[in-house]
Amino acid sequence: MHSINIRRDQRVAGGIVNIPLTGLGQTVTGVTLRGIAVELDASAHRELENFLARWPRARESITTERVVAKSTPSRLYEISVDEWVLFDEHSFSDQPRQEIPGNVDVQYPPFYPERPQH
């Protein structure tokens, strides 16, 4: 259902917490993002192969051939980030919420041999 929702409304948001959560009151470091998601099609073969190199067991559910045939339960998205919010109580204890514009140059993870061209 979530893929259908993204096709209807491409606005997305997400969050990553950089510590194991054990309860309320912890000092937290994390990030949230807000942006637009675009479902990648079979022309994004390089991005899919890079994803599968990092997550090889995903090949059971998503391949270029299955994307072309529209017979995969999984989807791959590219998110254009409009805004990042860093929440860092360790480094910025007096002002932990740091807004960062989304148009900054992204540093891609090591499993991307090249920057995606979408």
Digit-coded pLDDT (tens) for 35-71: 999 999 889 988 999 999 999 999 989 988 999 898 8
- Arithmetic mean of pLDDT, 89-117: 70
- Arithmetic mean of pLDDT, 3-32: 88
- pLDDT number for residue 106: 57
Q: How far apart are CA 52 and CA 111, in angstroms?
A: 10
Q: How far apart are CA 98 and CA 86, in angstroms?
A: 5
Q: Do residues 82 and 60 share a domain?
A: no
Show the domain range for 33: 1-37+78-103
Tell me if the pTM is above 0.75: no
Q: Do residues 28 and 51 share a domain?
A: no
Q: Specify if 24 maps to a domain.
A: yes
Q: How far apart are CA 44 and CA 24, in angstroms?
A: 41
Q: Give one word for 57, left, alpha or beta, with left for phi > 0 and alpha for psi -120 to 50.
A: alpha
Q: Specify if 52 maps to a domain.
A: yes
Q: Do residues 3 and 23 share a domain?
A: yes
Q: Specify if 19 maps to a domain.
A: yes
